[in-house]
Structure 1
Amino acid sequence: MTKLQFVETDPTAIEARIIGNYEAITGTKLYPGAPERLFMESVAMEHALLRQEQDHSARMNLVQYAEGPYLEGLGAFVDTHRLPPEAAGVTLRFAVDPDAGGIVIPAGTRATPDGTLLFATDADAAVPAGTTSMDVAATCTVTGTKGNGFTAGQIARLTDPISGVTGVSNTTTSMGGADAEDDEHLRERILLAPGRFSSAGPADAYRYWAMTAHRDILDVAVLSPAPCEIEVYPLMRGGLLPGAEVLTLVETILTDRKHRPMGDRVTVAAPVEQPYTISVVWYADDPVTQAQTEEAVAKAVDDFIAWQRAKLGRDVNPSELIYRIRAAGAKRVELTQPVFAVVSEQALAVPDGAPVIAFGGLEAA
């Protein structure tokens, strides 16, 4: 959308117009330092401030520009509200003494990875006699992203001892924790919201509801390989593949009878990874800035990888990589890999191993 400006906000232009009008009406030339001119300059500044507030207020009525509570107000028109913060979830496996007899692991039993952050079980879990372990779903006791990313085995300290339980350890990576939905994610859902009002199951409706499942879902591919067959592939922020917990959240919200057209059979799966390799040789023409350029080239490659991972179905584009390396200061680039490759709608281009970046030497400018 073209950037809109509802009123003139430039203080210089406003000042020139006010002084020009005065001079035209009175026939008097106002030179710098004249009392009348100084007064009008102060009036012009006040007008500029008022116009900036007016322009900002007008822009807050458009979804493309609105922020914070203004954006939330626009979302209310299409029944789309900011998603609240969520706590991370994980599966805890409790080791049990088989000779302890039937015991119960009560809801709220806590485990910790570091003595500070806590994960509490969601419900009572009855352990049959003779069982050596029991898997129980647990949720972080605080909301936000701080509970994410604890890999299997890291949550291994039991905070609330239970007779017969000899240990605890997470079997899945904790994930699903998120801060309150940011403006950009909310804005995208508001723009998609009209599609969900259709009863025919348009792609935008499935994208809308999938993104509603979790505010870290960055992109969604919706395919229909056959009539009434719907495949949904969510992509997480940072180009990460969704875990089982997120896939379950998406599937739950998409199969709700109020969201899914009757007759549609919905399948939710993680995107397919399409690997590519990076092998590049770059040349410089200035020995003084060679070290800085080398650092900039490495960052350009990392940015290219992040760019490829930011959207599903984004073709592997070597021209983009060459452009970024040249923009980083390289004089010339010899790119062996990657070659151009088409990426399907439900696939994500990911690097196969670490990129190979070699300095080819100095060349005359």
Structure 2
Amino acid sequence: MNDLNIHNESSEEILGRMVNKYEELSGVSLGLADERRWLLQTVAYSLFIRNETTNEGLKMNLLRYTKGDYATEMGAFTDTERLGAKKASVLLNFEIEEAKEHLLGVNPVRVTPGNNIYFLTPYFEFKPGETIKEVIAICTKEGIVGNGYLPGEINKIVDPFPFFKSVINMEISQGGAEIESIESLKERIRNAPSKFSTAGPGDGYIYWAKTANQEIIDVNVEMTAPGTVRITPLMKGGVLPTDSVLQDVKAICSADKRRPLTDNLLVNKPTQINYNIDFTYYISNKNIGLVNEIQENVNKAVSEYVTWQKAALKRDITPTELVYLVRNAGAKRVSIVSPVFKKVNSFEVAKEVNVNPKYGGVEDD
């Protein structure tokens, strides 16, 4: 399929065909230095460029090959728009100095971890007797710049209000995303036909769940009981979604035209299945001059395994994959203590805890 073209002639083949036809009609042989041959060569090259442009235009009409703005336009056939950049969100905990007997309203305020990144709250209120209020704040900048602030790092207020005491983020900030990649858009276009059913198919829920945030890389949909559907999204890098991302997924999947009336939706975080990496590897004495390079490659292989293991839900913890990668990195022998093979369920994701590769030295073949 990679060679799907209307025109397959090279410029040399086009030139040969033109020269042969000219000689046939004129009865004159064109030598390599003949100026008429040079003229035909110019025309042949121009025709070749035109043919290549036509081939490329054909491919832009096929989802497998399309790219750029062509892919964006192809989404119109299935009502699939390219997702724009999104802002990160985070759960904040505000505290005032003392409880009040009256309602204390707070206009939108900005908080920051101390740099040029700001999170803006909506209007919120402390009811009589309350000293603590949890509020979801949205980053003022689009994209991934607002992601990754750990609990406790967002703790400075830019717009203090009366009786303010402290603010702190209760969860890692998440949900910010750049404009959707073309590959992600094409994958959603492939899945788009499922969204037109009103019967609530799993693929339909998967499609809509992924429209909540382009950082969602995998979604599991299961019926846990008659009338109850559990949706489990996973973020890039094996990161668990925050509560605000789960709310977005549930809101999108619960729309009247997407959720059957008989479905009760539960949107949950994946369950993490912890595992350790502990092994000793040995290098052949034939590669003694490459010890440092092999050690570096082994460390990269371990990182690759960790990334692969948590890149999807329901991916079993598989030590054979780790052995393959380490041996491919140059190790002669691998003695594994952990991980051991473990089944991972459809709503679970593997998560590394302790990573401890050990170099055992050089040994004979």
Q: TM-score of the superposition, structure 1-length normalised? A: 0.89
Task: After TM superposition, give the deviation of residue 112 of structure 1 in Å.
Answer: 1.3
2:222 is aligned with what amino acid? L
The corresponding residue for 1:175 is 174
Residue 162 of structure 2 aligns to a residue whose secondary structure is coil
Q: Does the 8 Å contact 2:246/2:267 carry over to 1?
A: yes
Residues 336-359 of structure 1 show CA distances to partners (whole Å, capped at 9, x for unaligned) of 4333333222221222322x2122
Q: How many Å separate the matches in 1 of 2:267 and 2:327?
A: 40
Residue 225 of structure 1 aligns to a residue whose secondary structure is strand
Closer, same or farther in 2 for the Cα pair 1:334/1:38, shift >3 Å?
farther
Q: Does the 8 Å contact 2:30/2:37 carry over to 1?
A: no
The corresponding residue for 1:14 is 11
The corresponding residue for 1:71 is 71
Closer, same or farther in 2 for the Cα pair 1:58/1:264, shift >3 Å?
same
Closer, same or farther in 2 for the Cα pair 1:20/1:360, shift >3 Å?
farther
Task: After TM superposition, give the deviation of residue 256 of structure 1 in Å.
Answer: 1.9
1:151 is aligned with what amino acid? L
Closer, same or farther in 2 for the Cα pair 1:317/1:257, shift >3 Å?
same
Q: How many Å separate the matches in 1 of 2:63 and 2:256?
A: 29
Q: Does the 8 Å contact 2:233/2:269 carry over to 1?
A: yes
Residues 309-330 of structure 1 show CA distances to partners (whole Å, capped at 9, x for unaligned) of 1111122233322222222222
The corresponding residue for 1:112 is 112
Moved over 6 A (4+): none
Q: How many Å separate the matches in 2 of 1:67 and 1:58?
A: 12
The corresponding residue for 2:266 is 267
Residue 98 of structure 1 aligns to a residue whose secondary structure is coil
Q: Does the 8 Å contact 1:282/1:332 carry over to 2?
A: yes
Closer, same or farther in 2 for the Cα pair 1:229/1:74, shift >3 Å?
same
Task: After TM superposition, give the deviation of residue 179 of structure 1 in Å.
Answer: 1.4
Closer, same or farther in 2 for the Cα pair 1:309/1:127, shift >3 Å?
same
The corresponding residue for 2:140 is 141
Q: CA RMSD in A?
A: 2.4
Residue 277 of structure 1 aligns to a residue whose secondary structure is strand
Unaligned runs of 5+ in 2: none
Q: How many Å separate the matches in 1 of 2:349 and 2:211?
A: 21
2:260 is aligned with what amino acid? P
Q: Does the 8 Å contact 1:98/1:129 carry over to 2?
A: no
1:253 aligns with 2:252: yes
Task: After TM superposition, give the deviation of residue 208 of structure 1 in Å.
Answer: 0.4
Closer, same or farther in 2 for the Cα pair 1:71/1:360, shift >3 Å?
same
The corresponding residue for 1:190 is 189
Q: How many Å separate the matches in 2 of 1:42 and 1:363?
A: 64
1:327 aligns with 2:324: no
Task: After TM superposition, give the deviation of residue 298 of structure 1 in Å.
Answer: 0.7
Residues 154-205 of structure 1 show CA distances to partners (whole Å, capped at 9, x for unaligned) of 1222111222213322223221111121112211211111011112211110
1:297 aligns with 2:298: yes
The corresponding residue for 1:205 is 204
Residue 126 of structure 1 aligns to a residue whose secondary structure is strand
1:6 is aligned with what amino acid? N
2:242 is aligned with what amino acid? G
Task: After TM superposition, give the deviation of residue 24 of structure 1 in Å.
Answer: 6.3
1:294 is aligned with what amino acid? Q
Q: Does the 8 Å contact 2:100/2:130 carry over to 1?
A: no
Unaligned runs of 5+ in 1: none
The corresponding residue for 1:97 is 97
Residue 238 of structure 1 aligns to a residue whose secondary structure is helix
The corresponding residue for 1:313 is 314
Moved more, 334-343 or 172-181: 334-343
Closer, same or farther in 2 for the Cα pair 1:35/1:101, shift >3 Å?
farther
The corresponding residue for 1:357 is 357
Q: How many Å separate the matches in 2 of 1:229 and 1:333?
A: 46
Closer, same or farther in 2 for the Cα pair 1:362/1:207, shift >3 Å?
same
Q: How many Å separate the matches in 2 of 1:172 and 1:3?
A: 46
Count of residue pairs the alignment pairs up: 359
Q: TM-score of the superposition, structure 2-length normalised? A: 0.89
